[in-house]
Structure 1
Amino acid sequence: MDARRDFDHDFEDATIGEDIEDLDGTGGGDDVAMINVDCGNNDDNFGDNDVLLMSALASGRDIIVINYCYPCLCCHYCLLQKYFVDKKSNKNCFVLFARELNICWNDNPQYWRWTTLKETSGEEIEVAELLQVCWLDVRGQFNGAVDLSPGIAYEIVFVVRMIKCQDFSLKLTIILPNSKKLTRNESLNEKPLGSWFDIQLGEFKMSPENVGTMEFSLEDHTELWKSGLIVKYAIIRPKEPE
């Protein structure tokens, strides 16, 4: 599976583009509604954003993008989450950037390094670079009832990069709201160096039994010291037809 498929090209522009004017490939922004939520401002009235969302829906905009941001030292604002409607499939998608993931030891500079990544649009985002750990553990969660389209088959994917050769195996897990656990293993041996690629955790259908909080994780708890992995984001997106 290729992280740079057309769908994700659209997402890249939506995530970091300037006013996402290239999201639909037309160079215009009339069909796009963007709502920015400043998570670092305690005075923000989230009700105002609800009003903006309802107004955007009523206006018939094709795409609605909601950015959840927080101020940081490395750049003006860093994205935490993104909800958007993919124009190609017309289905809801959800993204958790590295800062919103629960990465064990991420606050210890001996083990992880936070760096800014400048995308082609010029926008900067934060990514987590693994320096050295034995206990590799990256987790996230989201509420599918709020963010995903009913009846649609979804996949959860980590987008990562390897910057040095490492042969270790990842345990990938999804825990659905009904407590059903989906688990698979994937080796990082022979993964491309220096390029972003997908690690698919698994698939699920957004059905009534899956309404609620879902959890997912990427882990390797063996005694082997691991390094050279960069975590960019996790995306929950519609599964492409086979």
Structure 2
Amino acid sequence: MLPEDCLATVLSFTSPENAFRSSLVSSTFRSAIDSDMVWERFLPRDYPEIVLSLVTPLKFSSKKELFQRLCDPVLIDGGNKIFKLEKSSGKKSYILSAKELSITWSSNPLYWSWISMAESRFSRVAVLRTTDWLEIRGNIRTQMLTPNSTYGAYLIMKISDRAYGLDSMSSEITVEVGNQQVSCSSVVLEHHQESKKQMEMWKSSEGIVSEREDGWMEIELGQFFTGENDEEVKMSLMEVKGCHLKGGLVIEGIEVRPKN
């Protein structure tokens, strides 16, 4: 028999998932979870800045509706990043486009080309033409993410039908937080025409390669914990041995998302 505003306060200390479930309890709960106070707590603190950075403005009539809209991927920062909220927890995730990454020699058209692909949400992806030096790096600040949370970093990529030399040597995949390396393993990319552009990974620790729902592949570069302090997270894939030619790698970006 709690007053509706008191019930809304209680719900705001739970989670988005529990708030949605509570709407099944009674009409009083359904009314309480529509309160802006509840969803103000579930939205990230910097949501006004995120809304301002949207490429396509969102229409919403309440904080609850805004939360639900941000649970779908949205382009921000001039179309160079994708932002999304996890519906169950409200935790933040980002995809940094290939343009946001540091890719060795990517500005030289002899080595890399930048093209549009219908499968990509970004205007351009990076396609490796030929190189003997493969080095891809990205970074993000922990203050952009949800505090005290475990995150995974994933390189989003494809291997073209005409790929060559990618499986000749292993590449090192690492994640650093501040000046500390928190994850390191190795990966070998292997293209199999008979099995629909699959990749296999030879791993030395916890790295994972898998197919995404959007049709791309992803390599798990590693995981890290955000904590309370603002630190720089550095993520990389770099070939560490040999100098042989390779080509056919397509890079969409790096995703940083919460791990369950």
Letter in 2 for 1:109: P
Is contact 1:129-1:230 (8 Å) kept?
A: yes
* Local SS of the residue matching 1:62: helix
Aligned-residue offset at 1:69: 4.2
How far, CA to CA, are the matches of 1:109 and 1:150 in structure 2? 40
1:199 aligned residue: 219
Aligned-residue offset at 1:178: 4.6
4+ runs deviating over 4 angstroms: none
**CA deviation map 1:38-87 (0-9, x unaligned):** 89xxxxxxxxxxxx99xx8x8232243663344xxxxxxxx211232122
Residue of 17, 32, 37 corresponding to 2:53: 37
Aligned-residue offset at 1:190: 4.8
**CA deviation map 1:171-224 (0-9, x unaligned):** 111111252342110111256527621101111122236x31111111115301
Is contact 1:137-1:220 (8 Å) kept?
A: yes
1:183 aligned residue: 184
Letter in 2 for 1:203: Q
Say yes or no: does 1:67 pair with 2:87. Answer: no
Say yes or no: does 1:148 pair with 2:145. Answer: yes
Aligned-residue offset at 1:90: 2.4
**CA deviation map 1:2-39 (0-9, x unaligned):** xxxxxxxxxxxxxxxxxxxxxxxxxxxxxx99836389
Higher strand share: 1
Letter in 2 for 1:104: T
- Residue correspondence of structure 1 range 108-147 to structure 2 within 5 A: 108-119=108-119, 125-145=123-143, 147=144
Between the two proteins, what is the percent identity of the paired residues? Answer: 24
User: For structure 1, which segment, 172-181 or 125-134, has the greater mean C-alpha deviation from structure 2 after superposition?
Assistant: 172-181
Is contact 2:98-2:254 (8 Å) kept?
A: yes
Structure 1 residue runs of 5 or longer lacking an equivalent are 1-31, 40-51, 71-78
**CA deviation map 1:105-128 (0-9, x unaligned):** 1111100010001248xx652110
Is contact 2:125-2:251 (8 Å) kept?
A: yes
* Local SS of the residue matching 2:99: helix
- The TM-score normalised by the length of structure 1 is 0.65
* Local SS of the residue matching 1:216: strand
Is contact 1:155-1:237 (8 Å) kept?
A: yes
* Cα-Cα RMSD: 3.1
- Structure showing greater radius of gyration is 2
Is contact 2:80-2:122 (8 Å) kept?
A: no
* Local SS of the residue matching 1:183: strand
How far, CA to CA, are the matches of 1:114 and 1:198 in structure 2? 20
Aligned residues: 183
How far, CA to CA, are the matches of 1:128 and 1:183 in structure 2? 24
- The TM-score normalised by the length of structure 2 is 0.61
Is contact 1:114-1:129 (8 Å) kept?
A: yes
Residue of 213, 219, 226 corresponding to 2:232: 213
Is contact 1:113-1:128 (8 Å) kept?
A: yes
1:85 aligned residue: 85
